[in-house]
Amino acid sequence: MPTSKRRKAKIQVRDLTMRYGDKLIQQNLNFDILERDVFIIMGGSGCGKSTLLKHLIGLYMPAKGQILLDRQDIWTVPPSQREALLRHFGVTYQAGALISSMTLAENIAMPLEMYTQLSTGEIADLVELKLSLVGLAGFQEYYPSEISGGMLKRASLARAIALDPDVLFFDEPSAGLDPISSRRLDDLILQLNESLCATIVVVTHELASIFAIGNNAIFLDAKSKTMIANGHPRDLLDNSTDQRVQRFLRRQASE
């Protein structure tokens, strides 16, 4: 991976405040996600990690502040330009969010059919390629209910990379997985980061994943409702003097 000095900011967050109505979730968030980062959004339960992800992918509008993709504010550009910007994103959700009545091939083909002019044969070839990239070659005709939880996560990832996005978002990718499946998914995330040259943003509280894949991170604090740490997870473990960050990063694996 290139050094941070040579990499540009892919996403910039400036003075971001997030609210649900009158309820403040987080405030005064300022950070950059660099090109080809594996960027971790971490913090305790209820701190707003998934809410921040939904703001980053354009589902929720900020109460205040800016979210810029390649220096363009996704909320102030014209709607057609905003839609084009958001197509640079691929997203995987905790439960996979695949359509249960469709085969894996049909799920992965859906964004290709919606947003490209490719022929049926070309789409079928791409579906086969995307499934191969996530270790699911030959599973085109399986339904989501017919595969394991780990395979479901990978199938969801295959759909997320269907349009070759610049940025991949993961919401708690290891949730519900056994340790072996979780490690395999971490390895796959790193492989895609390398092979696709993609920027990757991961919401997680899993320590093993944080240290295995993250090269940059922020820590959201539920009590102060703001970001209290930013940096490489290992650097934060070694150097942060904030006891909230230390307690989080020094938890026992059994907790």
Q: Phi/psi of residue 109, each to 5°?
A: -70, -25
Q: How far apart are CA 146 and CA 83, in angstroms?
A: 34
pLDDT, residue 96, reads 64
Residue 17 lies in a domain: yes
Residues 6+ apart with CB under 8 A from 162: 90, 108, 109, 111, 112, 126, 127, 130
Residues 129 and 193 in one domain: no
The per-residue pLDDT for range 109-161, each reduced to its tens digit, is 999 998 899 999 999 999 999 999 888 999 999 999 999 888 888 899 999 99
Q: Do 38 and 131 have their domain in common? A: no
**Nearest-angstrom CA–CA distance, 220 and 218:** 7
User: Residues 124, 210: one domain?
Assistant: no
DSSP characters for 129-157? HHHHHTT-TT-TT--GGGS-HHHHHHHHH
In this structure, of 46-55, 93-102, 110-119, 159-168, the range with the lowest mean pLDDT score is 93-102
Based on the structure, what is the number of domains in the chain?
2
Instruction: Burial-class residue 45 by CB neighbours within 10 Å (0-12, 13-18, 19+).
Output: exposed
DSSP assignment letter at 194: H
Q: Convert the pLDDT of each residue in 172-230 to its tens digit.
A: 888 777 888 888 889 999 998 998 899 999 999 899 999 999 999 999 999 999 999 99
Q: Where are the beta strands (DSSP E) in 21-158?
A: 23-34, 38-43, 64-69, 72-73, 89-92
* Residue with tokens 């009590």, as numbered in its chain: 223
Tokens of 170: 């993961």
Closest-CA residue to 66 (of 91, 30, 25): 30
Tell me, yes or no, if the pTM score tops 0.85: yes
Which of 139, 164, 189 corresponds to the end of one domain? 164
Whole-number Å distance between alpha carbons of 220 and 74: 23
174 is a domain residue: yes
CATH code, 171: 3.40.50.300
d(CA 121, CA 148): 28
- Check if the beta carbon of residue 27 is closer than 8 Å to that of residue 17: yes
Q: Which of 164, 182, 205 is the last residue of a domain?
A: 164
Domain span including residue 64: 8-88+166-249
Cβ–Cβ < 8 Å for 115, 88: no
